[in-house]
Structure 1
Amino acid sequence: MTPPVPPTGQAFAATDNNDHLVQSVNPDHPANLIPSLCAKFWKLGWVTGTGGGASIREDDLVYLAPSGVQKELMKPSDIYVLSMAAQAKSLDRRTRVYLRSPAQYKPSQCTPLFMAAFTKRGAGCCIHTHSHWAVLVTLILETQGAGNDREFQINNIEQIKGFGRGFEKSGNLGYHDTLRIPVIENTAHEEDLTEFLEEAMDKYPDTYAVLVRRHGVYVWGENVHKAKTQCESLDYLFQLAVEMKRLGLPWITEIEPVKPTRA
C-alpha cells in the first residue's frame, strides 16, 4: 500500500518508528553524541532557550535534534532520523520523510540548512549556535553600511589555524591567512534561510561557516570532531573581534612574516 503524501511543508514519519536507530551503548553514536554536545553548547550559551542545535550524518542516515527541546535536557529518544536517499527523491524539499520521529516534538526548522551542508559540502556534522559573539559581529558589520556588511574577515591571529583550507582541499589555514565568513540576512522563518545559505556556499566555496545577521551561525565539518573544533575556534575569533573593535584595533593587518635566523 502506498503511504499517504503529507501536505506541503509537513513531515511524514514511517509507521514503524524505528526506535532501534537511536538505541546504542556507544557514547559516540549520533543519538548519544548530539545530546552530549548540545549540553556542552548550552553551558557555553550557544543554545540558550531551546535555540540552536546540531545534526550528524552517518552514511545515508541523518540524526537531528528536535525543535523546542531544552538542549541541556535532550535525550537520545528525542532524536529525529531521516534518510538522505529518501529526501533526495522528494519533489518538495520542505516535505521530509523521517525514518524516526518522536511524537512529543516537531522537526527542527534547521533541517534543510543542515541538509545543505551534507549535500553541498559532504559534511558529517553541522552545528547551529545562537552565540551572542556571532550576533555581535554581524551587528558591528551592519554599522559599516551596505556593501561592507556581508563578510567577516580577520587575519594574523593564531586561532585561524583551526580551519581547513576548503572543501576537498588538504591542510589548514595559516597564521597569516585571512579567514572569510559570509553573512546572510535573517528571515522570519528559519527554513527560509536555506536558499540564501546555499547561495553563500556557492559564492564562498572554501567556507566552513555562514553567519546569519542578528541570529547566529552555522558551522560544519567533515566529521563531528572537525565541526566542533571549528565552531569553538570561530566563537573564539568572534569574541576576540568584538573586543578588538572595542579597543579600536583592526581585524585586518599587514604583518611581515618572521623568518627564523637559523636554518
Structure 2
Amino acid sequence: MNDSAQLHQINPNAIALCALGRWIASRHWVPATGGNFSVRNTGHSALITASGKDKGELSPQDLLPVSWQNGQLTCPGIPSAETALHAQLYQLDSRIKAVLHTHSVHATVFSRLINQDSYDFQGYEMQKAISGNSSHATPCPLALFDNTQDIPALAQQVAQRWQQQPLNFALLVRGHGLYVWGNSLEQAKRHLEGWEFLINCELERLKLAR
C-alpha cells in the first residue's frame, strides 16, 4: 500500500470530505467539475481535491496531500488550481480545518452585481448560521475580490485584507464563486449552506427592488 492510500485509510476526514462533496454536488453548487474542497491534515498540510474531478463522484483517491513550508507548496499529482488560496487560509488561522469552494449560479451572478470590496447582509435570521453572528440586526459582511487566474496573487490580496480584519468565514470572487471555511467540516458545511442561502435571498431582493 502506498503512502497516499495509507493516509486515506487512516484519515476519516478524507471519507467525510468526499461525502460532503457529493452532498454539495447534489445541490448543483459545483457544476462541470468546478469547485474544490480541502481538509487540514496537520499543521502544515491538507488533503485537497485533484484537478478536474467530478465532485459528485468523489472518493478518497481523488484527494491529494499538499503541504506548505517557507512559502513553498508541495503536492504529488495535479491539485486544484486554487490550492494556493486554500493553503493561504490555513496559514492565516490555525483553527481552520476545512475550506470549501463552490460555483453556484446565484452566488456567481450576485458577485457581478456588487462593486464594493465588502457587502453587508442585514435583517436575515440566517445570519446566525455564520459563527460570531448572534442577531439579524447586526450587519454580516461578505468580502469580495476580483477574479484572476493568478491564484498566488489572489491569496496575497486575501492575506492583506485579513491583516486589516479577519474575514467572516467566507469570501466571494467576482464571476467565479464562493469560498467558505470552518473550524471543522461540520462548521464549514453550515457556513456554506448559510452563505448560499443569504446570497440567494439578497439576490432575489435586489431583483424585486428594481
TM-score by length of 2: 0.90
Cα pair distance change 1:206/1:194, threshold 3 Å: closer
Match of 1:132 in 2: 105
1:46 aligns with 2:32: no
- Return the alpha-carbon distance in structure 2 between the equivalents of residues 107 and 53 of structure 1: 9
* One of 40, 55, 58 as aligned partner of 1:71: 55
Letter in 2 for 1:88: Q
1:154 aligns with 2:134: no
Match of 2:17 in 1: 34
Give the RMSD, CA atoms, in angstroms: 1.9
Q: Residue 57 of structure 1 contacts residue 63 of structure 1 at CA under 8 Å; is this kept in 2?
A: yes
The structure with the greater share of residues assigned to strand is: 2
Match of 1:207 in 2: 168
- Return the alpha-carbon distance in structure 2 between the equivalents of residues 207 and 237 of structure 1: 13
Deviations 1:180-239 (A, max 9, x none): 111110013444421122223223325211110111111111111111101100000000
Bigger RCO (CA 8 Å, 6+ sep)? 2
SS state at 1:63 partner: strand
Tell me the CA shift for residue 244 of structure 1.
0.5
Letter in 2 for 1:233: G
- Return the alpha-carbon distance in structure 2 between the equivalents of residues 37 and 163 of structure 1: 18
Q: Residue 143 of structure 2 contacts residue 167 of structure 2 at CA under 8 Å; is this kept in 1?
A: no
Letter in 1 for 2:127: I
1:81 aligns with 2:58: no
Cα pair distance change 1:140/1:127, threshold 3 Å: same
Letter in 1 for 2:90: F
- Return the alpha-carbon distance in structure 1 between the equivalents of residues 55 and 160 of structure 2: 29
- Return the alpha-carbon distance in structure 2 between the equivalents of residues 68 and 190 of structure 1: 17
* One of 209, 218, 230 as aligned partner of 2:179: 218
Number of matched residues? 207
SS state at 2:29 partner: coil
1:20 aligns with 2:6: yes
Cα pair distance change 1:190/1:50, threshold 3 Å: farther
SS state at 1:193 partner: helix
Letter in 1 for 2:203: V
Structure 2 unaligned regions, length at least 5 = none
Structure 1 unaligned regions, length at least 5 = 1-15, 143-148, 166-171, 250-263
Q: Residue 111 of structure 1 contacts residue 191 of structure 1 at CA under 8 Å; is this kept in 2?
A: no
TM-score by length of 1: 0.73
Equivalent residue runs for 1:78-227 within 5 Å: 78-83=62-67, 87-89=68-70, 93=71, 95-98=72-75, 101=76, 106-122=78-94, 123-142=96-115, 149-165=116-132, 172-227=133-188
- Return the alpha-carbon distance in structure 2 between the equivalents of residues 200 and 206 of structure 1: 8
Letter in 2 for 1:19: A
The structure with the greater share of residues assigned to helix is: 2
1:238 aligns with 2:199: yes
